[in-house]
Structure 1
Amino acid sequence: MGRKFDLPNSSAVKSILITGGAGFVGSALALQFKQAYPDCHIIAFDNLKRRGSELNLPRLREAGIEFVHGDIRTKEDFAVLPAVEAVIEASAEPSVLAGLTSAPDYLINTNLGGTVNCLNYARQHDAAFVFLSTSRIYPINQIDRIQLEEAETRFEVSAEQPFGGISPKGLAEEFPLEGYRSLYGATKLCSEYLIQEYHHFYNMRTVINRCGVLTGPWQMGKVDQGVIVLWVARHFWQQQLGYFGFGGTGKQVRDILHVDDLFDLVNYQLQNLAQVNGKTLNVGGGYDISVSLQELTAICQRVTGNVVPIVSQAENRQADIALYLTDNTRVTELTGWSPKRSVEQIVTDVYHWLRENETQLKPILG
């Protein structure tokens, strides 16, 4: 696995509830925890709304993970759950476009109301609470103020900036929060504020991870969420792609994080709760594991052996940004964690997953 810190094969946490447990991130964490700690009772709680999540149910069952079909929007669904020692809140409506092209009710009720139900359940059982937030809590209007330079294949952050919280390493936790960020980002930021209140007034043990682009095998990628898997899949099945916005050159940049690297961190956090209690941390691939669409295309061509047609549209799309990079300085200094899996490895892992599961994945991703 190449973990930075190997922990003894006995968990301080004997039971974990993972919300969104049949989704991409939730199921990946559940399976990794069960592999690392076979005696840990893990419950995957999910409403199975996202297409493709049903494919994870046999994987969870075979690993000995309990699946409970429920919805975090419905507090009564928590009543059937036993007490656990830790909650990993990995459920969300993760689309940046959600609520912009349709009614916002499901988004708000899931990402905000659902978090309240999860917090109350955790408080009832005195469980630790690990919240997977998002880099999208940082405002679009502030990100648009970042001074960029245009290099041959990507945009870069300039050394001189008009405000704090941004450097060539990326966005730090001190980045300005005033402005608009998408309804998805707003609901996650509101949830962060509530978690901080529960931490302070109810003495709950909490940690907030502001995750950048998470990816890896078993992600059902779409244009607005899961773009790395989408890009590899389109190359695998030789289908058209597009560079949209920012001149249509594909120079927009994201740092990306393999879900296994996220597991390494969450595992460490649950083993060292006192160290991370009450903290809010940026968590992403960082500059070293970042990629532009143009660079991603070249890697996909190399890994898959396929070249696909790419259309170009110069006009920007709603809620899109030219660059996001995670400054991991705080989380690395606090825990010693840093991501290990490169962009090339991530693309290769996704490619092999597509090859091995082509029949069942093509109706969803093809």
Structure 2
Amino acid sequence: MKLLITGGAGFVGSSLAIALKMNYPDYEIFAMDNLKRRGSELNLSRLKKQGVEFIHGDIRSKEDFDALPGVDAVIEASAEPSVLAGLDGTPDYLINTNLFGTVNCLNYALKHKAAFLFLSTSRVYPIKTLEGLNFVEEETRFALADEQPVPGASSKGIAEDFPLDGPRSLYGTTKLASELLIQEYNEFYGLKTVINRCGVITGPWQMGKVDQGVMVLWIAKHYFDQQLGYFGYGGTGKQIRDMLHVADLYRLIDWQLHNLDQVNGQILNAGGGLESSASLQELTKICQEVTGKTIPIKAVAETRTADIRLYVTDNTKVTALTGWKPEIGIRQIVEEIAAWLAENEEDLKPILM
């Protein structure tokens, strides 16, 4: 099999490329990336060591695709992933990458009759609807109530039939627009596709920032003895997310690649689920236990733009279709990331501090 992974030097793309090459040494895997994100250059030697061919290219450029060899499948893992991207009034890079870039990827896949696996995001779900959900305040976290005002929401989390009306961030909108186009290519061009709406993805080799990659950021700030803050919702740190280890995501992508007919045309939520969820307060406690460090955390009551109180993935549909469910919990994720920081401290310090 020949595969193209876009965003192939990014955290998710490189992790998938390396895992696929390790498990299928005979596969030809091309990792395409524009190396815009700081830290992605550290993955080039890792890709080369495993025998993944790196191609310096930009999905915004149709010409860069013209120079690529044909493949059997495309894993579209490229994105401007920040939920705050474009909110400063200049959304051009965001839209050109996340929407028009996807069009170039789709046309390339169509040209070579390649399957198309798309990594979308839970951020396609509208902010105000999520914020209007019924919740209970527990000692260390907010939790979703059983009874909800809209379909697709329960104490288990958010399912695929959650309403899509309303603003969701420019980032989420570009991903949803891409989803709509993918469905058209599937229906009218016969392109085999699957869309995965991922929750928070994390693990070693993620270059965490405040607006994307919060898990690594939280652990790194503890590791390097720096300050953090509980922003919004009263400054209590009770807002929650579920965390999906990139190795768990790989297992799903691997299954889909080799059983695409069973998920062709599907939209699937994929996240850590309730079992692998944590509030910032709970995450802080685990970070303290794993790193042995306690750092100052300020409380800021004011809620930031585009933030949400809670998001947990309901994996019921993807588990029923594929048998997949995440296996790696929060503590193991923290331990792995802390070990990675220790092993690569000199390289990571200027990026993550």
TM-score (norm 2): 1.00
Residue 268 of structure 1 pairs with residue 229 of structure 2: no
Report the CA distance between 1:101 and its aligned residue: 2.2
Question: Which of 117, 127, 145 is equivalent to 1:158?
Answer: 145
After superposition, give the CA deviation of every residue in 1:280-307 in whole Å (9 maximum; x if it has no partner). 0000000000000000000000000000
Deviation readout 1:303-360 (Å, 9 max, x if unpaired): 0000000000001000000000000000000000000000000000000000000000
CA shift digits 1:97-121 (9 cap, x unpaired): 0000251000000000000000000
Query: Deviation of residue 160 (structure 1)?
Result: 1.2
Cα distance in 2, alignment partners of residues 101 and 237 from structure 1: 30
Report Cα offsets for 1:216-248 as digits up to 9, x if no partner: 000000000000000000000010000000000
Q: Which residue of structure 2 aligns with residue 183 of structure 1?
A: 170
What's the CA shift for 1:164?
A: 1.0
Aligned Cα root-mean-square deviation (Å)? 0.5
Q: Identical aligned pairs, as a percentage?
A: 67
Q: Deviations over 1:246-294 (max 9, x none)?
A: 0000000000000000000000001101101000000000000000000
Give the alignment partner of residue 209 of structure 2, picking from 216, 222, 230.
Answer: 222
CA distance in 1, matches of 2:311, 2:8: 27
Instruction: Measure the CA separation in 1 of the matches of 2:136 and 2:7.
Output: 38
Aligned residue in 2 for 1:35: 22
1:358 paired with 2:345, answer yes
1:86 paired with 2:77, answer no
5+ residue gaps, structure 1: 1-13
- 1:66-91 CA distance string (max 9 Å, x none): 00000000000001100000000000
After TM superposition, list the pairs within 5 Å mapping 1:15-34 onto structure 2. Answer: 15-34=2-21
Q: Is 1:298 aligned to residue 297 of structure 2?
A: no
Distance 1:346 1:205 in 2: 33
User: Runs of at least 4 residues of structure 1 off by over 3 A?
Assistant: none
Corresponding residue to 2:302 among 295, 299, 315: 315
Alignment of 1:24-173 (within 5 A): 24-173=11-160
Deviation at 1:141, TM superposition (A): 1.0
CA–CA distance in 1 between the matches of 2:123 and 2:229?
A: 23
SS at match of 1:301: helix
Distance, in Å, in 2 between the alignment partners of 1:327 and 1:212 is 10
Q: 1:286 aligns with which of 264, 269, 273?
A: 273
One-letter identity of the residue aligned with 1:26: G
Q: Distance in 2 between matches of 1:220 and 1:102?
A: 25
Alpha carbons of structure 1 residues 317 and 116: separation in structure 2 relative to 1, 3 Å: same
> How far, CA to CA, are the matches of 1:238 and 1:21 in structure 2?
31
Counting matched residue pairs gives 353
Residue 232 of structure 1, aligned match among 219, 244, 266 = 219
TM-score by length of 1: 0.96
Residue-by-residue CA offset, 1:26-65 (whole Å, 9 max, x unaligned):
0000000000000100000000000000000000011110
Supply the distance in 2 between the matched residues of 1:278 and 1:45 (Cα, whole angstroms): 25
CA–CA distance in 2 between the matches of 1:16 and 1:55?
A: 22
Question: Tell me, what secondary structure is at the counterpart of 1:243?
Answer: strand
